[in-house]
Amino acid sequence: MCIAGGMIQEIHGAGSRAAGAMAPASPGHEVSAREHLFFEGDVRDRIYIVESGWVKLYRTLIDGQRQVVGFANSGSVLGIESDMLHLNSCEAITDVVVRSIPASRLNGICKNDPALAEQILRQIGRQLGAAQAQLATIGAQSAEQKLATFLLSIAHLCEVSLDQEFDLPMRRGDMAEFLGLRLETVSRKMTEFQRRGWIKLTSLYHCRLLQRHVLEELAQGGEADSAQMLRTA
């Protein structure tokens, strides 16, 4: 999952309607920020498609440590990684509209609704790729690199064409749990990025990238010291 931009715009469109007498996809359903769509361990009776807003997916370890395994926004499919029970908890971080599909419809879906099935297959493949990318980030990068990678991903997801402002809808603690850091570390690095003129936080949840190339350099393993800043500028 990770930062999984969606592809499925019309998962309940003509193709799937053709399936006939199956349980239909629900109409858009509102969920407000801080509410959960489901918890780890719940029976997975439905899968969800995000229509608008942001959710986070996370797991809780026995000792209370949490790991956010992904943020998802419009177009993402939630719950396909699970079988009988949900493996992740899913909490809305903004107000959200979701559509859901009964899990029963997944049985024999390839026969009954090949168009939908193929979309789901592509979407889950994308999520797997994103999860693996996130593994690389968490496992092999420093705190600074992680944050740079993260900001670029979010900016990309928000489809920021050039360097205008974009939403950073999650709290510092969510970012930290996603990146495998402490929120203090995230906070420090954010202010550091700002002090160096790489980003500008217009509010706590609103950000602009001033030096995208420096962040890109960093994210890919560059040094990003001041000398490099000049070179690459």
Q: Applying CB under 7 A, which residues contact DNA?
A: 142-144, 171-173, 180-188, 190-191, 201, 204
Q: Which two tokens stand for residue 203?
A: 């509010």
Closer to DNA by CB, 44 or 56: give it: 56
Name the pairing type of β-strands 166-167 and 55-60.
unpaired
Nearest distance in Å: CB 172, DNA:
4
Which C-beta is closer to DNA: that of 63 or that of 159?
63
Residue 28: how many other CB atoms lie within 10 Å: 13
Residue closer to a copy of itself (CB basis): 41 or 108: 108
Q: Min. distance of Cβ 149 from a copy of itself in angstroms?
A: 10
User: Closest separation between CB of residue 174 and DNA, Å?
Assistant: 8
- Interface residues with a copy of itself (CB under 8 A)? 1, 57, 59, 61-67, 69-70, 80-83, 87-88, 108-111, 114-115, 117-118, 120-122, 124-129, 131-136, 138-141, 177-180, 220-222
Q: Residue 84 has which token pair?
A: 């009988």
Nearer to DNA, 11 or 186 (CB): 186
Beta carbons within 8 Å of 17's beta carbon, 6+ residues apart: none
- Long-range CB contacts for residues 185-193, cutoff 8 Å, separation at least 24: 185/143, 186/147, 189/143, 189/144, 189/147, 190/147, 192/144, 193/147, 193/148, 193/151
From the list a copy of itself, DNA, none, which binds 27 (C-beta under 5 to 8 Å, kind-based)?
none
Please give the backbone phi and psi of residue 146, each rounded to the nearest 5 degrees, phi first. Answer: -60, -45
